[in-house]
Amino acid sequence: MMIPEIVGCNAELRRAVMQTADALEQGGHVVIEGETGSGRRLLARSTWQRRTPGARSLFTLDCHMFGGATAEELLFGDHSGSNNRFALNPERFHLAMSGGLLLLHAEKLSVRAQTRLAQAIDPLLSRPRGTGMQMIVTCTPQPAGALPLYPGLANILLPVRMPPLRERIEDIRPIAESFLRNASPFERVHCSQALIDKFCAYQWPGNVTELRSVLRRLLLEAHHGLLDVRHVADLMCRDATCFALMQGVHSTMEMPFGVLQQALAPEIRSQQ
């Protein structure tokens, strides 16, 4: 399955798309594991909209934004969970039982909430395809590599890994060109090979979101249709990522806070 919104030809990315699409097509439930900014939400929503027969409603609940306790109340309709009700409460978020629920940052839920969620999903597993609610969960991997979900929940979800941008070096140019086409539709803007090389040497801890943020700032410079390394140099004192790119380090996370603070001092003073 090719999805226009998901740019890139990386094998791991294609595998993630196919796994998610196949699972949703068969009425399954999925957990998409990946770093912040890697495109987990885009993968979930794009594959859901292209499933057959027809896309049904997909409600998105961000557990990080609402907090674990509020998200649990939205899911189950009560705070305590003492009444042994493990059924989801779709009326709370206007979701039909035949729709889908995209649960972002599920690791923010308490173990109790994840246990209740697992027991709510379990009866849905035996329903015929297309007759029950489907669940798509996203989570951020732990440093040790373990899935940061309660095992009882993780074991009933199909795991899909969204690769970080540093593992998709071949996709950096296509992603950049796609963004520039959409961000500047009335002007043809390209990246020089030297700039692409700089991008490929960087680790991108913020993944695709961080890359797009840098390109967005570069478009504000006088570029005459060609973005180059010199434009990154002009932003060294105004953007932490641009500073790291010019310093040749792998990411801003490798730079001491004092160095970044000193480099960005002019920008900090201008905002005061």
For the segment 246-255, what is each residue's pLDDT rounded down to a tens digit?
A: 887 777 665 5
Single pTM value for the model: 0.84
User: If you count DSSP H runs as helices and E runs as strands, how many of each does the chain have, helices first?
Assistant: 13, 7
Q: Where are the domains of the chain?
A: 11-163, 167-271
Mean pLDDT, range 97-121, rounded to an integer? 87
pLDDT in tens, 5-57: 899 999 999 999 999 999 998 888 999 999 999 999 999 999 998 876 555 78
Quote the mean pLDDT of the chain. Answer: 83
pLDDT of residue 69: 85
For 167-271, which CATH class? mainly alpha
**In this predicted model, what pLDDT tens digit does every residue of 219-240 receive, in sequence order?**
998 889 999 999 999 988 888 8
Architecture category of domain 11-163 in CATH: 3-Layer(aba) Sandwich (3.40)
Res 84: pLDDT: 44
